[in-house]
Structure 1
Amino acid sequence: MKSHLTLLLFLAGIISVSAQDRISGALFATRSEVLAQKGMVATSHPLATQIGLDILKKGGTAIDAAIAANAALGLMEPTGSGIGGDLFAIVWDANSKKLHGLNASGRSPKNLRLKDLKAKGLDKIPSFGPLPVSVPGAVDGWFELHSKFGKLPMKELLAPSIRYAEEGFPLTQLVAWYMNRTIPFFQNREFPNIKETYIDQNGGKLPQEGSIYKNPFLANTYRKIAEGGREAFYKGEVAKTIASFIQEQGGYLSVSDLNSHVSQWVTPLSVNYRGYDVWELPPNGQGIAALQMLQILEGYDFSEIEFGSPEHLHLFTEAKKLAFEDRAKYYADPDFVNIPAETLLSDAYAAKRRAAIGEKAGIYNAGEISAGETIYMTVADQYGNMISLIQSNYRGMGSGMVPPGLGFMLQDRGELFSLKEGQANTYAPGKRPFHTIIPAFITKDGNPWVSFGVMGGDFQPQGHTQIVMNLIDFGMNLQEAGDAPRWDHTGGSSPTGQGPGLGAVRIESGIPYQTVRGLMDRGHEVRYARGVYGGYQAILWDPVQKVYHGASESRKDGQAAGY
């Protein structure tokens, strides 16, 4: 209703544009919100969404449905996910009325030392091949979630994906597009098992949009996990196959590294933004960068600043630069460094950082303190539970390392370590790398409101901040908040060792050219780009009507559905 009223006022000339569609410039979303009372699933693939919905209808919890849908995405969207990667989640537990955080990210090989990498003449860890491979944490993450919040047996949760992997399913447009660019890239580098896994199982041809795609190797691996549990992956033949393959390729991941892997339950961190509590997971992820940005931006009155205006994008960009300088200096594995999260998220520190923002684009340093592709999905169930889950291999399909006969590619998260000595994120054996993937959650007065995420590498904290502002500052509904045009700032310091710089603002076509000129006047370099603005899914709970609202990213193949 609110969006329809806004449209009428706009057409009547009473108000100016506040939420343009990125393509047409119209004032409405590319699709309406999905509404349902019992449960809701929002993923980046329609078939995965339907699998999750089936699990909910069988009486499964949101966590059961999320595991089933995530397994499906590892099959159906291997360009952004899979059991070769890591997982993070925030769970709203209806029984305890509390949020729980899970860090299911893996660690670096224990027998690979910084001096070994230096001896190879490296100044950074390569993007592909065996060296960036860290322990895949996703499967352990499934079992941790399931043991705490699951209801249906794991065999039942993995059965749909096993069936689809054996019988096949039609490839969606975006996944086919990425596969047709990624698979030949790895073949040209002569990485083993690429052709056998992704082409030979499908008639010897590169999969195309609409073609029936199968992965019987992955079906077999899923079946082992369904029958043998996490031990089948981390201590059985799967672990031996992974370790021996990586070592054959010149890497260091061992059976011992896989045997000793554990996930970690963590306490989510939050800031209050205009009466709403926004929650992220602590490092080694980058979620608190979004919280730092919101703390800085709360000091400005956006009721007086138009959406998509030069002032809006300028203030946002400067807040991002400030937060990302701190990200580069302080964010890392908390088992190895002391992260001053409480100070970074304090009102006093935000005020100090905010004071550095002027009328022109600036170059900043970190504050002084004493002391790609991914999938995102969210599910809500009839019991009131909600889960915000993100999972990835990094750089799309991952490292290019496909162990023989297993049906999946291993992640290359180790690339995100710094090789400069003395930094928070400097490589060390058995250390978790800085992570880009982050789930998010918003509560209001201690009750769940929105479970959401925006995948996409360094864009993710920026995407989270934009969604929160779209919902709270600009009054958009859940779908509008995701469909509104986006922008990002690229450049500046990074946890891998890159130093400060002015960088550039990249914008979608829905941002008006008046804003482009306004940003240039303020000293920003402005570029146009496509495909860098992430993928959004969200579920909102309306406690008055007791209805779930679902939204899915219009830039992807996804779907929100409920019952």
Structure 2
Amino acid sequence: MKKIASIVFVVTLCATMQTNAQSFNARPGGTQKPVLHGSHWMAITGKPLAATAGAMTFQKGGNAVDAACSMLAATCTMWDVLSWGGETQALIYNPKTGKVIGINALGVAPTGATPEFFKGKGMNFPPEYGPLAAVTPGTPGGLCTMLAEYGTMSLKDVLAPAMTLAEGYPIEAQTANSMERGKDRIKEWPYSKAVFLPHLGQEREAPAAGEIFRQADLLETLKKMVDAEQQALKKGKTRKEAIYAAYDRFYKGDIAKEFVRGAQEQGGLITTSDLANWKVKTEEPLKVNYKGIDVYKLSQWTQGPALLQSLNILENFDLKAMGFNSTRYIHTLYQTMNLAFADRDFYYGDPAVAPEEPIQGLLSKAYAKERAKTIRWDRNDAKAGPGDPYPFEGKINPYQDYLKQWGQASLNKPVSPLDDRYLEQFLLGTTSVEAADKEGWVVSITPSGGWLPACIAGKTGVGMSQRMQSFVTDPKLNPFNVVAPGKQPRVTLTPTMALKDGKPYLSFAVQGGDSQDQNLLQFFLNVVEFGMNVQEAAEAPNINTYQMYLSLGGEDRKPKPGAILLQSATPEFTRKELFEMGYKLSFDDRTSGPINAIYIDWTHGSFWGGSSNHGEDYGIGW
């Protein structure tokens, strides 16, 4: 996690209520970071060195897919809230076809991962950390697939910056301190301890900021993948075939065997068959049209459709007339997101596994109009829950009894406070990767998994995913997302792309767990409704609702009705109005989330890059 908000629960209310919010509602003036400009290419991601890796790949003649893969590899190697054993979710605009392609490189629950298994261990959800939290690795396969199908360069060239980093790089304070904070858990896992704690027995056992951090085992794994590619090329294989040879060595060869051995040695369930049988999926993304703009998201195995549902609902209101971050606007956003995320919590899951999610109904404009009619305008609706999209598909909802129980389960028990532990789970990690080039390729990736403190699988140097915790074991919470072997959990990870007049318009993503599509929704509206450029939109103050089930965390994941995050500069009269409407206010000085974005300027033939002031995200353009 890049930043845990400092929360203040006591709100001083202003005695005198103002009626105009021009100073806060108007378009923000100035930004802390400059907007990026480029006409040849743009590379933005979560760490400066990783953005440099993308720039190096562009300078070698690579396209946006090559550069994105290079940045992905670098961020994994730098443990930018993810590892090589995590998962990769991507949208790619292919200028040759004029289509947006979805890449589903999320692993699956391994053999033996059943509700009965976890309940037998006294767990209502799979665990947060360790080998039993791991789905099969997805990122190596996702990177190889994107590169083979849509890139131009060799795996050797694309991985070169990451391999240099694995040899040793000066580690930044953020990651080094994460290792130190998590060292008690890291010591439970021998292979992690050997990598992350080079100073065992000293007061500080993790590396210090600026210290050269070396990963010999990971470097060897990457060398093996490159060697498989190079040997295939020597045998006359094509570039694509050679890259898939590297893919096979990771999932079916000696790397796979060592990964499984190391995972099982530490108590994990993953088998060699689980790795060999898993495949990357290329899919057609979902989309809705908002005021002439086609907005694309990956399908319901992510939370992405919640943003699309929100846009459908918000299309029924004049947001611009409300004023940016006015009380009316904030209330409208909060209530809309509660409805969309309640549907997410109950209806989203792996579309490849029965039962079939009612996604057609969920994304219909008619369903959105009916949901919009349920909004209360006088106060927060603490009982807002999932709707019934089945009639909008001409079907009868088979889970009506679960719907009634869902509401009871979420609201009839005491609500725990918004403490640092809760916020850590709410915002918990990933990174994002954005790339575009003058040939028309545009890439948006939200990779994640295997964040610190990570359990490394044997001598591979690869940290295992913790994504299994996003499953449920009780179908009353979500009948579509119950853990089962071979099934993907519903994840928070959610790249976004928008096309206008059939051409790329915006590409954007953000890290931050359950806050992701909240921040991305507001970024999009900042550009489309309020005329901000990408940097202004990325830094502008957002709100967050906590009235949803946590996707990551321990046993207590219940919604927190009315709890809202506001930017510290929110005027007193807005605070007072929201408080009187039933909201529980908390504040932070930065609420945008670490958004990375690219705007394609067709008028001038250039790119505008935005990278928020929220974390270490960084961009380079040319």
TM-score by length of 2: 0.83
Of 460, 476, 482, the match for 2:516: 460
Counterpart for residue 420 of structure 1: 474
Measured after TM superposition, the shift of residue 225 of structure 1 is 1.7
> Which one of the candidate residues 360, 369, 391 is aligned to 1:342?
360
What corresponds to 2:597 in structure 1?
538
- For the residue of structure 1 that corresponds to 2:380, the secondary structure is coil
Per the alignment, residue 561 of structure 2 pairs with 502
Alignment of 1:19-38 (within 5 A): 27-38=29-40
Segments of structure 1 that go 5 or more residues without pairing to the other structure are 1-12, 22-26
> In the alignment, does 2:452 pair up with 1:397?
yes
1:46 aligns to 2:44 (yes or no): no
Q: CA RMSD in A?
A: 2.3
Aligned residue pairs total 540
- Residue 366 of structure 1 corresponds to 386
Report how far residue 79 of structure 1 moved: 4.2
AA of the residue aligned to 1:148: E
Distance of 1:417 and 1:454 partners within structure 2: 22
What is the deviation of 1:81? Answer: 1.7
Q: What is the CA–CA distance in structure 2 between the aligned matches of 1:455 and 1:208, rounded to whole Å?
A: 25
Residue identity matched to 1:41 = A
CA displacement at 1:368 relative to structure 2: 1.3
Q: Secondary structure at the match of 2:596?
A: strand
Supply the distance in 2 between the matched residues of 1:140 and 1:87 (Cα, whole angstroms): 9
Q: Which string of whole-angstrom CA distances, capped at 9 and with x for unpartnered residues, describes residues 445-471 of structure 1?
A: 111011111111001110110111111
* TM-fit CA distance, 1:515: 2.4
Determine the structure 2 residue equivalent to 1:186.
Answer: 185
Q: For 2:386, give the aligned amino acid.
A: A
Does the 8 Å CA contact 1:89/1:102 hold for their aligned counterparts? yes
Per-residue CA distance 1:188-232 (angstroms, 9 max, x = gap): 6x2222221123299984123233322222211111122221112
In 2, the alpha carbon distance for the partners of 1:485 and 1:347 equals: 28
60 and 199 in structure 1: CA distance in 2 versus 1, 3 angstrom threshold: same
Name the structure 1 match of 2:404: none
1:326 to 328, 334, 343: 343
Q: Does 1:171 align with 2:171?
A: yes
More deviation, 348-357/173-182: 173-182
Deviations 1:310-364 (A, max 9, x none): 1121111111110111101110001123122121111111111111111210021
Distance 1:346 1:108, change over 3 A: same
Q: Within 1, Cα distance between the matches of 2:571 and 2:27?
A: 9
Deviations 1:225-263 (A, max 9, x none): 222211121112221122122222222111110111101
1:53–1:561 Cα contact (<8 Å) kept = yes
| Contact persistence 2:80–2:431 (CA under 8 A) | no
Task: State which of 366, 374, 395 in structure 2 corresponds to 1:356.
Answer: 374
Q: Matches of 1:147 and 1:450 in 2, distance apart?
A: 25
1:96-495 correspondence to structure 2 within 5 Å? 96-166=97-167, 168-182=168-182, 184-187=183-186, 190-200=188-198, 205-228=205-228, 229-336=246-353, 337-359=355-377, 360-362=379-381, 363-370=383-390, 371=395, 372-393=428-449, 396-397=451-452, 400-421=454-475, 423-493=479-549
Report what 1:4 is aligned to.
none
Cα distance in 1 between the residues matched to 2:591 and 2:460: 30
| SS class of match (2:431) | strand
Q: What secondary structure is seen at the aligned counterpart in 2 of 1:85? A: coil
For the residues of structure 1 that align with 2:533 and 2:486, how far apart are their CA atoms?
A: 43
Which stretch of the first structure deviates more once superposed, 208-217 or 239-248? Answer: 208-217
**How much has 1:526 moved relative to structure 2?**
1.2
* Cα distance change, pair 555–68 in 1 and its aligned pair in 2 (3 A): same
Q: 1:185 to 1:322 in 2, by over 3 A?
A: farther
Cα shift at 1:112: 3.0
Task: Quote the Cα distance in structure 1 between the aligned partners of 2:452 and 2:490.
Answer: 19
Query: 5 Å matches for 1:548-559?
Result: 548-559=607-618
> How many Å apart are 1:161 and its aligned residue?
1.3
CA distance in 1, matches of 2:186, 2:302: 31
Look up the match of 2:401. Answer: none
For residues 214 and 570 of structure 2, the distance between their equivalents in structure 1, rounded to whole angstroms, comes to 41
Distance 1:321 1:245, change over 3 A: same
What is the Cα deviation at residue 286 of structure 1? 0.6
**Residues of 1 paired with 2:514 and 2:180: CA distance?**
24
State whether residues 225 and 247 of structure 2, in contact with CA within 8 Å, keep that contact through their aligned partners in structure 1: yes
2:63 corresponds in structure 1 to 61
Whether the aligned pair in 2 keeps the contact of 1:201 and 1:216 (CA below 8 Å) is: no
Identical counterparts, % of pairs = 31
Q: Distance in 1 between matches of 2:339 and 2:475?
A: 23
Report if aligned partners of 1:81, 1:392 keep a CA contact under 8 Å in 2: yes
**AA partner of residue 178 (structure 1):** S
**1:14 Cα deviation after fit:** 12
Instruction: Please say if residues 57 and 66 of structure 2, whose CA atoms lie closer than 8 Å, have aligned partners that are also in contact.
Output: yes
The answer to whether the Cα contact below 8 Å between 2:259 and 2:457 also exists between their aligned partners in 1 is yes
Contact 1:365 1:500 in 2 (8 A): no
Distance 2:577 2:310 in 1: 21
CA distance in 2, matches of 1:235, 1:530: 48
Question: In structure 2, the residue corresponding to 1:443 is in which secondary structure?
Answer: strand
Please tell me whether the aligned partners of residues 20 and 510 of structure 1 are also in contact (alpha carbons under 8 angstroms). no
Q: Matches of 1:494 and 1:418 in 2, distance apart?
A: 11
Contact 2:107 2:137 in 1 (8 A): yes
Write out per-residue CA displacement over residues 341-394 of structure 1, whole angstroms, 9 at most, x where no aligned residue. Answer: 121111111111111111210021211132411010100123110100110016
Instruction: Write the deviation string for residues 111-136 of structure 1: whole angstroms up to 9, x where unpaired.
Output: 33332222223222111122111101
Contact 1:332-1:424 within 8 A present in 2 as well: yes
CA contact (8 A) 1:41 1:49 kept: yes
Deviation track 1:161-203 (CA, whole Å, cap 9, x = no partner) reads: 112221x222234333433323x24236x22222211232999
Whether the aligned pair in 2 keeps the contact of 1:541 and 1:549 (CA below 8 Å) is: yes
Over residues 281-301 of structure 1, what are the superposed CA-to-partner deviations in whole Å (9 max), with x where a residue is unaligned? Answer: 102101000111111112111
Residue 456 of structure 1 contacts residue 532 of structure 1 at CA under 8 Å; is this kept in 2? no
Q: Does 1:526 align with 2:580?
A: no
Give the aligned residue type for 1:312. Answer: Y
Instruction: Tell me if structure 2 keeps the 8 A contact 1:141–1:263.
Output: yes
Superposed CA offset, 1:149-172 (max 9, x none):
110111011112112221x22223
Secondary structure at the aligned position of 1:458 is classed as helix
Contact 1:320/1:489 (8 A) holds in 2:
yes
Q: Distance in 2 between matches of 1:510 and 1:241?
A: 52
5+ long unaligned stretches in structure 2: 1-19, 229-245, 396-427
* Contact 1:397/1:411, CA 8 A, preserved across alignment: no
* 1:270 match: secondary structure: strand
Residue number in structure 2 paired with 1:517: 576
Separation in structure 1 between the aligned mates of residue 199 and residue 254 of structure 2, nearest angstrom: 22
* Contact in 1 for aligned 2:124/2:473 (Cα 8 Å): yes
In the superposition, relative to structure 1, how do residues 96 and 103 fare at CA in structure 2: closer, same or farther (>3 Å)?
same
Structure 1 length as normaliser, TM-score?
A: 0.91
1:527: Cα distance to partner?
1.5
Q: Decide whether aligned partners of structure 1 residues 59 and 270 sit closer, same or farther in structure 2, where only a CA change above 3 A counts.
A: same
CA change 1:516–1:191 in 2 (3 A) is: farther
Give the Cα–Cα distance (whole angstroms) in 1 for the partners of residues 272 and 345 of structure 2. Answer: 32
